[in-house]
Structure 1
Amino acid sequence: MKFNLTLLTAAFAGIFSTSVLAADFNLKIQSSDPSGDKNFQVQQKWAERVETMTDGQIKISLLPAGSVVKNTETLDAIRQGILDGQVTATEYFSGKDPAFGLIGNMVGAWSNTGQLLQYINYGGGYELMTELYKPYGVKFIGGSTTGVESLVSKVPLDGVADLKGLKIRAPEGLVQQVFAAAGATPVNLPGSEVFTGLSKGVIDAADYTVFSTNQKAGMNDIAPHPVQPGFHSLPLIDISISQKKWDKMTPAQQEILTVSVRDFAIDMTTELRIADQAAVAKAEADPKITIHNWNDEERKKFRAIAKTQWKVFAERSPNAQKVYDSVTQYLEANGLL
């Protein structure tokens, strides 16, 4: 029996290259969300879908918040090869460059998820994030968000005047700066301590997350005056991986990942919106909870305060100024400013 050596060699080469490819792309990606949150569950479905779409060539081990490093350290962990990627809120890196705080959560800029996603995908945000992450050896694949976050409060909040003197938990950076400018007293408190801080009176209110997550965690039971829909925070959630890993992928694999993240953004925003609607209905049926919905005039007042702080925050670094110019030009061009 004669063997075609050329064909046999090619067959073995194909098998070998496929096995190497699969081994190369077992990606260890850390999320900024705990495993019990709906956010993490949606992220897990995305990871499973990527494996299916690539026929097992890209496998993602999704790790909950804090599994390997702190949320603020994932960018360095990717550069050092400790992690392969992240699903995180970009604003966590504002300590490295204020630009991340500005593009990660430009307080008061976006009225809904569609506006932010349109900016990221079609308005220059993707290119800007790619530029910002380049020095860290990290490739920005794409962005999502959760939704306009609710505000949990122990006291009634019906407008900007009610923020005066309010002890409110808020993340470091622009969010704290805006609330301070509005007359509140921001408190730097980890997310894990929000419930305890509210119950013990350390804080009066908290900028935490979306309504359904707050409701599930019992926040509205101890702080029965939530503001919904929120008026302040709409964070950018980014999915990024090591640039070295990205460069080793085929164009087809890169395209699959890019499209998968756009699909993930639809899943994340839609599923959380549905969950929020159900949670609001449940809260409205509870006589102990009063939902406060700010009118347009009060929302405009808060946004006017936020806009003054965008400009101040932009002065902190050249990259922050780039973000400010990019976002404000986009908002103005689309009649949103």
Structure 2
Amino acid sequence: MTLSTPLKTLTAAVLGAMAFSAHAAEYEWTFQTSETAGEPQFEMKKQWAQNVETMSDGRISIEILPVGAVVQANQTLQAVKSGILQGHLTDPSYFTGQNPAFGMIGNLVGAWSDPYDFLDYMNNAGGEEIYNKLAEPYGVHLIGAAATGLESLPSSREIKTVEDMKGLKLRAPEGMVYNIFEKAGATPVNLPGSEVYTSLEKGVIDAADYTVFATNQAQGLHEFANYPNYPGFHSLPMVAVSLNKEIWDGLPEDLKAILATSVDSMAYKMVGELKTRDMEAVREARKDPNIHIVDMSAEERAKFRGIAQKEWKVWADKNEITSEFYDSVVGYLKGHNLLPDDAGQQSSDDKSSDKASS
């Protein structure tokens, strides 16, 4: 069959548009995450990249790589600055050695009992502005903050009290979380997340500050660490979604707005999905007679938070950014009745939360 001239023209236009859309990305970036390819958070971050491509009508194309694919987890900051990577989605605590403010903002241990409060602080109460004051001199711009949720604490020993932490060989990353567990009597060990499973299996460590309950369960950690603490009482790490600052500065305003909106959407979706996964994993774990979920009492949580608060003050004196962040976040927590003036007393919000979970 011979195509008519108008049909030929239309066919050529459609094929041309398809070819254009396949190669029309104005910006092609590679981002590295701090998760392995099998973790739920990794898949959520890949979905974010796909959403950015859709929202930008194909103008931005982002490849998401797992931890260690290009550089080690604690090297992505420099890799983004130098252009080896264009961005990263990672916990800023990995960069504590470069500036203590990364560790303090990345994981203010004991501060948050609800990830939505953390997101509200970062988005609406100055947290992201303070982070960019820290990060931009390193050549990186924070597009937006996300969070996984309160982490569980898988352990081969029962931890019902702060006293139970004495002598506990605990995997913890460098920075504030390491220091606070040390002050609580534990013996922290700095290991990469990729070694948590084998270290628990071989008894190199007794417990791990690692990630959320559902991921721990899916990775089989509870086979060796069958006394997981849940709900978590310690860590709620930030996920910094950042782009090379020169690239960010050169973007048109509409693409900046698309990126910021996409990160906010991912942040809230991630919290909701991981919370649902946690509840499902807890229900499944309770069916296993060998897994004993520990819910630390309100009084013991308050003791741990008291230790943490003292360490916050120590870190606040490290530099101008840590001081500014301390004043800002403590003001937010107290203003929202999330932090008592007395470290030994627990806010009414925390108490009601503990009653609800018991």
Shorter-chain TM-score tier: over 0.9
Give the aligned partner of residue 148 of structure 2.
146
Aligned to 2:223: 221
Match runs of 1:1-337 below 5 Å: 22-337=24-339
Amino acid at match of 1:136: Y
| Deviation readout 1:110-151 (Å, 9 max, x if unpaired) | 011011001000111011111111101211100110010000
**CA offset at residue 205 of structure 1?**
1.0
2-side partners of 1:189 and 1:134: how far apart?
28
For 1:24 and 1:82, the matched residues in 2 are separated by 18
Deviates most, 154-163 or 326-335: 326-335
Q: In 2, are the aligned partners of 1:97 and 1:319 still within 8 Å (CA)?
A: no
Q: Distance in 1 between matches of 2:98 and 2:328?
A: 20
Shift of 1:24: 4.1
Q: C-alpha displacement at 1:45, in angstroms?
A: 0.6
Looking at structure 2, the residues matched to 253 and 98 of structure 1 have their Cα atoms a distance apart, in angstroms, of 32
Q: Which amino acid aligns with 1:319?
A: I
Aligned-residue CA RMSD in angstroms? 1.5
Aligned to 1:4: none
What is the distance in 1 between the residues matched to 2:175 and 2:145? 20
Q: Contact 1:25–1:245 (CA<8 Å) still a contact in 2?
A: no
Q: Which residue of 2 aligns with 1:3?
A: none
Deviations 1:241-276 (A, max 9, x none): 011111222111110110000000011111111111
Q: Percent identity?
A: 49
**Matched residue type, 1:46:** W
Higher relative contact order (CA 8 A, sep 6+): 1
Aligned residue in 2 for 1:5: none
Gaps of 5+ in 2: 1-16, 340-358
TM-score normalised per structure 2: 0.87
Provide the C-alpha distance between the structure 1 equivalents of 2:327 and 2:161, rounded to a whole number of angstroms.
29
Bigger shift: residues 279-288 or 161-170: 161-170
Deviation (angstroms), 1:318: 2.4
1:7 equivalent in structure 2: none
Distance 1:298 1:106 in 2: 18
For the 8 Å contact 1:153–1:206, the answer to whether it is kept is yes
